[in-house]
Amino acid sequence: MAANRLRHNNLEFLGNDLATKIILDTNFLFVPSQFHLDIFEELDRLCGEGNEPLILSSTLEELQKLAQSQSIKKSKQASLGLKLAEKCRIVGIERENDESNDDVILRAAVDMACAVATNDQELRRRLRNAGVPVVFLRQKSMLAVDGSV
């Protein structure tokens, strides 16, 4: 195992020598407002400074809808998520008729061979079953990777 990797159970924490494309899920963009954690700094620590955060157009649409929400908390989180999305590359993707946003993320991750950053337990399980690496919040204070990026 390379010196820049620390392995703990099935989690692999990577050093700064790997460029990685990472699709960010809507709930992942809420991490900074919920846990006061800089997700971009943490992604750099975890995957290296050459990582490329991606936002799918379907995720952007979901954030825009949530920003118009009646719930003040959701609306504020979504507005912050939209500001964070400006730091990411937007990837246009067509949603099939019966696809949920999670279905679109799974399909895009497999097609593009990228990791996904999410805290959604069900989506994490589906991604792991498909062999897609998952970045997630661990102990409310840092990001970790399930699988290898």
Residue range 90-108, pLDDT digits in tens:
999 988 889 999 999 999 9
The pLDDT tens digits of the residues spanning 122-137 come to: 999 999 999 999 999 9
In a domain, 29, yes or no: yes
Q: What is the mean pLDDT of the chain?
A: 85
Return the H-helix or E-strand segment holding 42: helix 39-47
**Residue 49, pLDDT score:** 81
Neighbours of 119 (CB within 10 A): 19
Q: What is the pTM of this model?
A: 0.84
Residue 12: pLDDT above 80?
A: no
Residue 64, both tokens: 């825009």
Which whole number is the average pLDDT over 31-36?
94
pLDDT at 13: 40
Count of domains forming the chain = 1
Q: Report the range of poorest mean pLDDT among 21-30, 43-52, 82-91, 103-112.
A: 43-52
Domain membership of residue 73 as a residue range:
19-146
Say if 4 falls within a structural domain.
no
In a domain, 2, yes or no: no
> Is 10 part of any domain?
no
Tell me, yes or no, whether 3 lies in a domain. Answer: no
Residue 5 resides in a domain: no
Read off the CATH number of the domain in which 67 is found: 3.40.50.1010
Q: Indicate whether 42 belongs to any domain.
A: yes
Q: What is the pLDDT of residue 93?
A: 92
Helical pair 101-112 and 57-67, crossing angle rounded to 10 deg: 150
Pair of tokens at residue 91 = 């990837």
Question: Which percentage of the chain shows pLDDT scores above 90?
Answer: 70
Judge whether 8 lies within some domain.
Answer: no
